[in-house]
Chain A
Amino acid sequence: EVQLVQSGAEVKKPGESLKISCKGSGYSFTTYWIGWVRQMPGKGLEWMGLIYPADSDTRYSPSFQGQVTISADKSISTAYLQWSSLKASDTAMYYCARRLDSSGYRFDYWGRGALVTVSS
């Protein structure tokens, strides 16, 4: 069974750093892109970026380029999303999802999401 297990909720202060994780299991982790998707409170889904764990090739949405860093450790089938200096506006739910590349591109499996709250 394909599973993406995300790390838990986080409460941080502005200016702090954070790294959240997404561990894949039940499939070959290195052969599918993993994406990160943000949902701010009361807002829609926003694609942040993608990583190909086999070689850590990474693509960012222009809206998130330079704001976050996506990485992966294929030895432990885990992808990461990190911030070096959080802002209150980073408060959101963050989902990881597996991208299926067949007749178009879509996210077929999703993690449960990690709620990040940034507040002083």
Chain B
Amino acid sequence: SYELTQPPSVSVSPGQTASITCSGDKLGAKYACWYQLKPGQSPVLVIYQDNKRPSGIPERFSGSTSGNTATLTISGTQALDEADYYCQAWDSGTAMVFGGGTKLTVL
């Protein structure tokens, strides 16, 4: 079955840039998206189609993909960006697949 691998945790200082990676076989040939999940809330789509932002998502959120890795970048990270982030892709064999999630800590 298809798998997506994320680092368990990433730390960043306020105002700095946070990068969260997501690796999967031939991920660059699929469309990756990213969700933000805060405690007590529902997941929010922050990036889709590798690098597009849904309406209402701040410009500091961006995405990119290269080879087998998709990256979520948060520029000028704010305290309110502290959350768990999940990548997701679609695979013809496994259908919807989530990465294991990355806890972003804003120190």
Chain A residues near B (Cβ < 8 Å)? 35, 37, 44-47, 50, 59, 61-62, 95, 97, 99-100, 103-108, 110-113
B85 CB → nearest A CB, Å = 10
Contact of A44 among B30, B33, B98 (CB under 8 A): B98
- Does B43 contact A105, Cβ atoms closer than 8 Å? no
B95 within 8 Å of A (CB atoms): yes
- Does B35 contact A45, Cβ atoms closer than 8 Å? yes
- Identify the closest chain A residue to B33 (Cβ): A106
- Does A103 contact B49, Cβ atoms closer than 8 Å? yes
B61 within 8 Å of A (CB atoms): no
Stretch at the interface among B9-17, B18-26, B74-82, B86-94: B86-94
- Does A104 contact B98, Cβ atoms closer than 8 Å? no
Number of B residues, CB within 8 Å of A: 27
B101 CB → nearest A CB, Å = 4
- Does A110 contact B43, Cβ atoms closer than 8 Å? yes
Contact of B42 among A50, A105, A112 (CB under 8 A): A112
The docked-state distance in angstroms from the alpha carbon of A111 to that of B44 is: 11
What are 25 of the A-B contact pairs (CB < 8 Å)? A35-B96, A37-B43, A44-B101, A45-B35, A45-B37, A45-B88, A45-B98, A46-B98, A59-B95, A61-B94, A61-B96, A62-B1, A62-B94, A95-B42, A100-B48, A103-B31, A105-B90, A106-B48, A107-B35, A107-B43, A107-B45, A108-B48, A110-B43, A112-B42, A113-B42
